[in-house]
Amino acid sequence: MIARIFIPIILAIVLPDLYFDQHYLRRSSWRTWWKRMLWWLPSVILLGYTVALASIRNFAPDDLSWLNIYLFLIGSIVAPKAIFALCSGAGLLYSRLTHTRHNWGNLIALPLCAFLLYLLVYGSTLGFRKLEIRHIDIYSRELPKAFDGYRIAQFSDAHVGTLTGSRRRIITRFVDSLNAQKADAIVFTGDLQNMQPAELEPVHDLLKSLHAKDGVFSVLGNHDYSQYIQTDPATKMAHERETISRERQFGWTLLLNEHRIIRRGKDSLVIAGEENDGRPPFPHRGNINKTLAGIAPSAYVVMLQHDPSAWRRSILPRSHAQLTLSGHTHGGQIQLFGLRPTMLSCKEDYGLYLDGHRALYVSAGVGALIPFRFGIPGEIAVITLHKLP
């Protein structure tokens, strides 16, 4: 992970301290060499930490606490320094252009840095532990009458490898909350693990306890294909088979470009599960034709697809699926004033989207590889289907 953005991180660590050294440390009581060494010491340590993490072959270390500590230090030390240096530098330029003595950039930087620290602490603690139940109503004329009021509880992006130690209570809470909805079906839309299926063993009994009238249905997400470990293809394939086996041991119906038909008398509803259909570098395993083979055009289809970008790319033009449920984006994990970073890369990044009589719901998920959420809590989506006359 760190290797992908190695250069920007190094620049973010070094450049602010160069600015402070040039404009402040040399002109104050800090100008003695040992005091300046004390100032630079955290950055030197972080440089070494960065190099060590970047040298790891896998996407992230096996013990994620090393990554979490690193990201917390980056957020609490490097980011405030960078913001202060940017504001101070802009204020210094403005004061020189206007021939004023005061650097107003310093005053602007202080509340920004304070807010950043609040965002970091809250998002890493209370924000990540928060769980909401969202109720969504879907209306359709094509829904069979017997399924009017049918309820589907969706959860996504559990990333159970992150939910260890004190965070294990998050898993217990969302399992209890899912069962409490008494939905007709529970669906999981991918990313159960971070990197390896061994993460699933400690939560086996909890996930096995999920139950619904028509069962628990799931699909794989990009993290479930073991693509984030650097090893030979045979080992990756073995890990993938183990992940598939474990989900089935939970009693879930894992759909690999497959579908299942649920019946109510003479009426029926299709729950289809397409494998991950992502854009590079994410896995592209989806096969919409295979997933819906033998399904009549008049059938009402609920499509499970981890990556929401597949909705416009392949599901809308190549199928008649009326409702698609996705995850993957985590809602950006941060939302300020209604803005999320995933809006820059995803047209449909969070919430309900409509295209004529067809709908997509993108879940914010429950967990994440990085334990942080601000303004976009983990969620369980309870989707109720309604038949229009």
What number of helices (H) and strands (E) belong to the chain?
12, 12
Q: Is 101 helix (H, G, I), strand (E, B) or coil?
A: coil
Please give the Cα distance from 374 to 123 (Å, whole number).
Answer: 5
Structure tokens at 41: 């010491």
Mean pLDDT rounded to a whole number for the chain: 94
Mean pLDDT of 12-29: 85
- Say which range, 85-89, 113-117, 164-168, 238-242, has the weakest mean pLDDT: 164-168
In degrees, rounded to 5, the angle at the alpha carbon of residue 32 between the alpha carbons of residues 28 and 33 is 135
Please give the Cα distance from 240 to 56 (Å, whole number).
Answer: 22
Residue 30 has pLDDT above 70, yes or no: no
pLDDT digits (tens, 9 = 90+) for 335-350: 999 999 999 999 999 9
pLDDT digits (tens, 9 = 90+) for 148-207: 999 999 999 999 999 988 899 999 999 999 999 999 999 999 999 999 999 999 999 999
Residue 325 has pLDDT above 90, yes or no: yes
Residue 84 has pLDDT above 70, yes or no: yes
What is the predicted pLDDT for the residue at 198? 95
81: phi then psi, degrees, rounded to nearest 5: -60, -45
The residues pairing with 382 across neighbouring beta strands, listed in sequence order, are 135, 153
Please give the Cα distance from 389 to 387 (Å, whole number).
Answer: 6
Nearest to 47 by CA among 18, 27, 20: 18
Structure tokens at 121: 């602490």
Please give the Cα distance from 115 to 375 (Å, whole number).
Answer: 14
- Residue corresponding to tokens 């950043």: 116
Alpha-carbon distance values, 97 to 23, 156, 352 (Å)? 17, 52, 49
Residue extents of the structural domains in the chain: 1-125, 133-387
Band of the pLDDT at 29, cuts 50, 70, 90?
low
Mean pLDDT of 246-259: 98
187: left (phi over 0), alpha (psi -120 to 50) or beta: beta
Contact (CB, 8 A) for 197 and 246: yes
Percent of the chain with pLDDT over 70: 99
Q: What distance, in Å, lies between the first and last C-alpha atoms of the chain?
A: 51
In degrees, rounded to 5, the angle at the alpha carbon of residue 48 between the alpha carbons of residues 46 and 49 is 60
Residue 387 has pLDDT above 80, yes or no: yes
- Residue corresponding to tokens 């960065």: 50
330 versus 280: the higher-pLDDT residue is 330
142 versus 25: the higher-pLDDT residue is 142
Contact (CB, 8 A) for 365 and 163: no
H-assigned helices in the chain: 6-23, 33-54, 64-73, 79-98, 104-124, 126-129, 168-180, 204-208, 233-249, 288-291, 309-310, 316-318
What is the predicted pLDDT for the residue at 218? 98
Residue 33 has pLDDT above 80, yes or no: no
Q: In which order are the strands placed within the sheet that holds 351-355? A: 258-264, 267-273, 301-304, 323-326, 358-362, 351-355
Residue 32 has pLDDT above 80, yes or no: no
Please give the Cα distance from 73 to 120 (Å, whole number).
Answer: 10
Residue 291 has pLDDT above 90, yes or no: yes
CATH of domain 133-387: 3.60.21.10
